[in-house]
Structure 1
């Protein structure tokens, strides 16, 4: 039997200061009061919210009588619903979630949005091509963000997914949420949004946020279920479908990257689920696993410094085990949602520290084992300098791309306009031959070969372990310099070609 999902990390564990979260549950459809075996659909949703980092729940219903969790706000129609959302946004000191009361979902599906330590603005999206039917408005996702969202009034060009009703607005965007909700209320009151209904509050708010230029992270639903229902029969069927999916297994699958380097993907991630489960059972934090990985690399450096064949083999084994834990710490962080900017920084710093400590151990062992070291320290320093330069190139390029995206123009669009701006068409300028060749071969075995060529950390650790265990430090450093130099030239040439074209 699979273990229960790990307890949600506290915000202190995740590296964030506690913030007061709020949820607006729109129980404005009769389906929210559909009776299930253990209560109504709304009761079920309320119980799930009680297990998530949501402190205040505001229920908006078509009556002033208390419904579900907390006191209900009386609302006469869509205009009142939208103004209730705006009121909560102005009063909240933390993120605000907007959910329909007729939602039947896996807890894990809700948690992917509401339990994420970033506490940012995000929407739950299913990659179903945008043809989801009623209560599943279309969206278009670009680069991990919702680029366009629809409703019964607003169209989406080239949709590739559907919005599944779970929306969270981060604290930094609450002013935008309040403004969008008020503007929508005015448009509805003025009859400028056609025949939108009271069941579309969350859909309309998502449209408004996207059109206002608020970055909305797209959280992909994957194999989990999250559906709005229209009555008792559909609600019961939806609950039965939930039991068909192992939430823990789905959460673990989502925590393991499927597009990492070749060594990490095929030689580690193919079996690393069980150490991740074990670490979660033992309540180990990702930072603790990072520390264990760093300790194993330090031990490998000590063994390498002995310079003897048996010690070199032991050091090679420790290097590989250190890399396995290096993969596990990130997977554990995503599985338990106990990740933070501090943890990511520590992970990156420890990767450099582990690698360079191993270089020092290899050089020391070689210098002490042979009569003529032959400039082994110069080779070690050169390998360190090359890797440092490669990391600098990688980080600076990523930072420049992120800066360009943030500096891009934001053009707010009218909510009264039912149309959608289509995605940008490719530039008529002809791409460079290198870019065309790269796109042609970016698939199948050639795609994995390209990943190997750039010598990511998994390939580097494997290269160090094999060459040090079978040969000596000189061969290791020469291999690192030769392969690393080729990888740097390949990476720089590709990025320059893409930037120019």
Structure 2
């Protein structure tokens, strides 16, 4: 359940400006009708806050935050937005996530001609530029809002507008309430063009809350105030393929090299085909299990043609292992049972294949010493999964790193930027410095994929099994698994020890 806060008039067909029609969309709904149908699936009784009296609106939002037991989703009442974008924002893991648009970077030729002062030497300014009708008064980095200002409070080199939607986890509701009450006491510092969403983010950032950012990417969002803007928004939205965006977003963005280039390029289309025919993620998981068991049976014969067949089957067992998660994300069918089955039977498929390879080696008359390698592979993989699980649990208990704070009424963001610079220097020393350097190295494509592959993720493991078993024999397969798995375990363990000590 998500608590929805609507900034603007109560949704309804006769409410202005939300009564503007989206003639280009099926059924020609009004902005309000469409938004109402979207948010009712999240909250059947959304809170409505009129933003005309800023102080009253901030206090009303503080009241909602204090009483909320669920995550909050704040959105302007004149928003035209894709369903998929609402879904992605409300399912984000960040404590606070805001939808933003950054100003386009100047052309390199123009930039070279200008005498641009480095940001460390730049003076704070009151943002006077606009983007999509909103004042550019925030500065965002790669992943979060670094600083924000108002009509009277300057910010260093602003480059971003807060488009409207903000998702706030329940754990941050108290911070939101406190911030809103503090802001309500200083409304004399705001101007008539200060947007309520911008003010909320301004207060949160200055109170040390990390506000993550997300762009629209391949989805649509716009605020509309006139019928002309509504016509443009409807026409642009109708020309975008939301289903394709939803399908693309069903694929995990942090997969390994083999999964990214040899599975996910087409598995998403299998997922859509399965979802449209009513197949559940658990049924797809069952297909993957059956293919894994068949692969083990083929390996158990020890004959070359069947070994090749086993390699093909274990590859497709992994393909359907990816498809089940993609079906879940595409069709919005999640469940505890499904997650448990997926994680459990991933290990089952690996270990039954190990057994099949060992049996095939023995029945081919090669001796039973292969079981030592098989048990070594099973033991190594079991230890790696135990370490993964225990580190994940411990890491979730770690409190988030505190960001610097600054008084809300400070005239500019120089104290905040100095504190951030000091924090940056401190975090660039010792073990943290080494980890930061290694993270930065990931911007190089070769290093990025090398780091993905060295940890020997499931895609690479299944690929190694399929290729070595089909082309060589079980001994080569197990030696590959043990050798690569040992390197991966040492690399992973070193990284986690460093992160634990940092």
Q: Give the TM-score taking structure 2 as reference length.
A: 0.78
- For the Cα contact (< 8 Å) 1:117–1:338, is it kept in 2? no
3-state SS of paired residue (2:46): strand
Residue 100 (structure 2) pairs with residue 125 (structure 1)? yes
Counterparts of 1:443 and 1:275, CA distance in 2: 32
1:358 to 353, 362, 368: 353
Question: What's the counterpart of residue 293 of structure 1?
Answer: 288
- For the Cα contact (< 8 Å) 1:297–1:354, is it kept in 2? yes
Question: What's the counterpart of residue 255 of structure 1?
Answer: 250
Mark the CA change 1:340 to 1:153 in structure 2 (over 3 Å): closer, same or farther.
farther
Question: What's the counterpart of residue 462 of structure 2?
Answer: 461
- For the Cα contact (< 8 Å) 1:145–1:215, is it kept in 2? yes
Question: What's the counterpart of residue 195 of structure 1?
Answer: 191
Question: What's the counterpart of residue 7 of structure 2?
Answer: 25
- For the Cα contact (< 8 Å) 2:206–2:407, is it kept in 1? yes
Counterparts of 1:440 and 1:118, CA distance in 2: 25
Residue 44 (structure 2) pairs with residue 55 (structure 1)? yes
Question: What's the counterpart of residue 16 of structure 1?
Answer: none
Once the two structures are TM-superposed, the CA of residue 341 in structure 1 deviates from its matched residue by 6.5
Mark the CA change 1:26 to 1:436 in structure 2 (over 3 Å): closer, same or farther.
closer
Counterparts of 1:438 and 1:49, CA distance in 2: 38
Once the two structures are TM-superposed, the CA of residue 461 in structure 1 deviates from its matched residue by 0.5
Counterparts of 2:19 and 2:335, CA distance in 1: 39
Tell me the alpha carbon deviations over residues 164-211 of structure 1, each in whole angstroms, 9 at most, x when there is no partner.
2012333444333333322222221xx2x23255x6222222333344
3-state SS of paired residue (1:240): helix
Once the two structures are TM-superposed, the CA of residue 47 in structure 1 deviates from its matched residue by 3.6
2:326 to 322, 331, 338: 331
Once the two structures are TM-superposed, the CA of residue 248 in structure 1 deviates from its matched residue by 0.8
Counterparts of 1:487 and 1:153, CA distance in 2: 53
3-state SS of paired residue (2:231): helix
- For the Cα contact (< 8 Å) 2:289–2:349, is it kept in 1? yes
Mark the CA change 1:117 to 1:490 in structure 2 (over 3 Å): closer, same or farther.
closer
- For the Cα contact (< 8 Å) 2:134–2:161, is it kept in 1? no
Counterparts of 1:253 and 1:128, CA distance in 2: 26
Structure 2 stretches lacking a partner, 5+ long: 106-128
Tell me the alpha carbon deviations over residues 389-428 of structure 1, each in whole angstroms, 9 at most, x when there is no partner.
3334545555565555x25336554332354423443556
Residue 355 (structure 2) pairs with residue 379 (structure 1)? no
Counterparts of 2:145 and 2:335, CA distance in 1: 23
Counterparts of 2:384 and 2:309, CA distance in 1: 28
3-state SS of paired residue (1:27): coil
- For the Cα contact (< 8 Å) 1:290–1:326, is it kept in 2? yes
Tell me the alpha carbon deviations over residues 290-340 of structure 1, each in whole angstroms, 9 at most, x when there is no partner.
333233222322332233333323322221011111222232333234346
Mark the CA change 1:108 to 1:447 in structure 2 (over 3 Å): closer, same or farther.
closer
Mark the CA change 1:55 to 1:261 in structure 2 (over 3 Å): closer, same or farther.
same
Counterparts of 2:37 and 2:299, CA distance in 1: 55
- For the Cα contact (< 8 Å) 1:117–1:339, is it kept in 2? no
Counterparts of 1:240 and 1:82, CA distance in 2: 34
1:102 to 75, 78, 94: 78
Mark the CA change 1:155 to 1:322 in structure 2 (over 3 Å): closer, same or farther.
farther
Structure 1 stretches lacking a partner, 5+ long: 1-18, 62-74
Mark the CA change 1:142 to 1:403 in structure 2 (over 3 Å): closer, same or farther.
farther
Counterparts of 1:214 and 1:433, CA distance in 2: 26
3-state SS of paired residue (1:167): strand
Question: What's the counterpart of residue 13 of structure 1?
Answer: none
Question: What's the counterpart of residue 175 of structure 1?
Answer: 174
Counterparts of 2:224 and 2:213, CA distance in 1: 22
Once the two structures are TM-superposed, the CA of residue 264 in structure 1 deviates from its matched residue by 0.4
1:231 to 226, 231, 243: 226
Mark the CA change 1:150 to 1:299 in structure 2 (over 3 Å): closer, same or farther.
farther
Question: What's the counterpart of residue 69 of structure 1?
Answer: none
Mark the CA change 1:497 to 1:45 in structure 2 (over 3 Å): closer, same or farther.
closer
Counterparts of 2:263 and 2:171, CA distance in 1: 38
Once the two structures are TM-superposed, the CA of residue 371 in structure 1 deviates from its matched residue by 5.2
Mark the CA change 1:30 to 1:181 in structure 2 (over 3 Å): closer, same or farther.
farther
Question: What's the counterpart of residue 235 of structure 2?
Answer: 240
3-state SS of paired residue (2:265): coil
Counterparts of 2:484 and 2:444, CA distance in 1: 22
3-state SS of paired residue (1:166): strand
- For the Cα contact (< 8 Å) 1:154–1:419, is it kept in 2? yes
Counterparts of 2:102 and 2:360, CA distance in 1: 53
Counterparts of 2:142 and 2:7, CA distance in 1: 29
Superposition pairs for residues 400-415 of structure 1, below 5 Å?
Answer: 403-404=397-398, 406-409=399-402, 412-415=405-408
Counterparts of 1:184 and 1:268, CA distance in 2: 50
Mark the CA change 1:234 to 1:120 in structure 2 (over 3 Å): closer, same or farther.
same
Question: What's the counterpart of residue 416 of structure 1?
Answer: 409
RMSD between superposed Cα atoms in Å: 3.7
- For the Cα contact (< 8 Å) 2:441–2:447, is it kept in 1? no
Question: What's the counterpart of residue 82 of structure 1?
Answer: 58
Counterparts of 1:143 and 1:385, CA distance in 2: 40
